[in-house]
Amino acid sequence: MTDTPDFLTVSGTPIAVRHKAGGNPGLVWLGGFRSDMLGTKAERLEALAGELGVSCCRHDYSGHGESGGAFSDGTISQWLAQSIAVFEHYTSGPQILVGSSMGGWIALRMVQELNKGTAGDRIAGLVLLAPAPDFTVELMEPELTDAQRADLEDKGYFEEESEYSPEPNVYTRALFEDGLKNRVLTTPLDTHCPVHILQGMADPDVPHALAQKLMEFLPKDDATLTLIKDGDHRLSRPQDLDLLARTVSAMVERVRA
C-alpha cells in the first residue's frame, strides 16, 4: 500500500479514495468486479499520470478493497452512484475514464448520467479494458445452471469459485435485477468523446465478441477496438501495461490538442 486513502461517505458508506493532484485531462480509474484500486493496472495508471503531469483519481466500490459496506449488498446502481459522487467531489474539468471489466459498464453508465443525452464537457475520453457491459444479462444469465437459478430464487444468491481470489464470488438476485435497469446495449450510445477498447482474444471471462458488440452500439463515436490475440482478462502482463500506457497517453495528447 503506497499511502493512506481518503474517505468519502456516500449514502452512509465510507468509500476509500486516492486522488493525486495534477493537470487536465485527469485520469479516473474504475475497477472491476471484486477488484480494488491497488491492482497492477490502477497503480500503473497513477504512475503514468505523474509522468504526464495530470491528476489521477481511483476508488474502491462498497464491499471492495478498503471501502466499507458488504460486497453482497452491492449493485450496479450503488457502485455507479458512488463512482459519480467520487468523480464530482474529487475531480474538475475534463477527465478520461479508464474502466476495467465491470468498470467499463460503470464508465458507460457514468457518461449517460453525467451527460443526460447531451454533450457534456466533463468526460473527455473513455479507455475500456475488457469491458463487461450488461454482464449479468449478456454473459451470466444464459449460462446459469438449474441449481444456480434455484439458489437465486430460494436463497437470493449463489456462490461461485473465483480464479482471482480464495473467497468465492457471490452473485445476488438484487445484482441481476438491478443489472436489467442499467443495461446499455439496448440503444445506440452517444458518449460524445473518443473511445478506445482494449480486449484480449484469449479472455476466458469476457469474450471478445462482447467488445465487438459494444462497438456496434457506438455508431456516432470515434471508437477504436484493439484486439490482443493472446491477451487474457487481466491484461496485466508487462506488454499489456505498456499498451495501456500508450493508449491513455495518446488519449491525453488528443484531448490536449
List 54's β-bridge partners, or say none. Answer: 23
Q: Check residue 132 and report its DSSP letter.
A: -
Summarize pLDDT for 16-41 with one digit per residue, the tens.
999 999 999 999 999 999 999 999 99
pLDDT at residue 163 in the model = 78
Prior bond of 25 cis (ω within 30°): yes
Going from the N-terminus, what domains does the chain have, and what CATH number goes with each?
Answer: 6-256 (3.40.50.1820)
Fill in the amino acid letter for 8: L
Compute the mean pLDDT over every residue in the chain, rounded to the nearest whole number. 95
Note if the pTM is more than 0.85. yes
Order of strands across the sheet that contains 23-30 = 6-10, 13-20, 54-59, 23-30, 95-100, 123-129, 195-200, 223-228
SS3 198: strand
Helices (H) and strands (E) in the chain, counts: 8, 10
* pLDDT classification of 1: cutoffs 50, 70, 90: very low
Residue found under cell 486513502: 5
Is residue 257 predicted with pLDDT exceeding 90?
no
Is residue 45 predicted with pLDDT exceeding 50?
yes
Summarize pLDDT for 94-129 with one digit per residue, the tens.
999 999 999 999 999 999 999 875 667 899 999 999
Closest to 104 (Cα-Cα) out of 85, 79, 129 = 129
